[in-house]
Amino acid sequence: MDQISKPFDSYIISYVTGYPHDCVITCFNGDAYAGRMIFYKENAELPPNVMFNDAPSLHFHSHHYDAIVTILRYEKPLMLFFVPASRTGGIVTSEREPVGEQEGTGMPQTPRPGMP
């Protein structure tokens, strides 16, 4: 089976306690469920990525949360993808982005290793 791609245009963030994970970001395309990203505690072993309700269920450690929320806030259009054969997946922009599109618009600067 090839890559499964699910575009989305809105999301709900659920930060929780008492679970093996810290947070779930549930994605929607209009009113339709498009997938979810689950953020697990750093010491937890990640379960494999799977399809859940015909959409990607992607599993990350919590240190990826801030980067993914930044993508959600500043990029569009977006989609989740999942490759069943390798159980890999991710969040990607679904169209080409012009270089420098966010220049000077208030997007926080990401520190680069070795740079002030």
- 94-116 pLDDT, tens digit per residue, is 888 778 766 556 655 555 555 45
Residue that has been written with the tokens 């089976």 in this structure: 1
Contact 63, 57 (CB under 8 A): no
The Cα 21–Cα 2 span in angstroms is 28
Q: How far apart are CA 92 and CA 94, in angstroms?
A: 6
Rounded to two decimals, what is the model's pTM? Answer: 0.83
Task: Judge whether 59 and 44 are in contact, CB under 8 Å.
Answer: no
Residues 30-61: pLDDT tens digits?
999 999 999 999 988 999 999 999 999 999 99
Q: Are 34 and 27 in contact (CB under 8 A)?
A: yes
The answer to whether 87 touches 59, Cβ cutoff 8 Å, is no
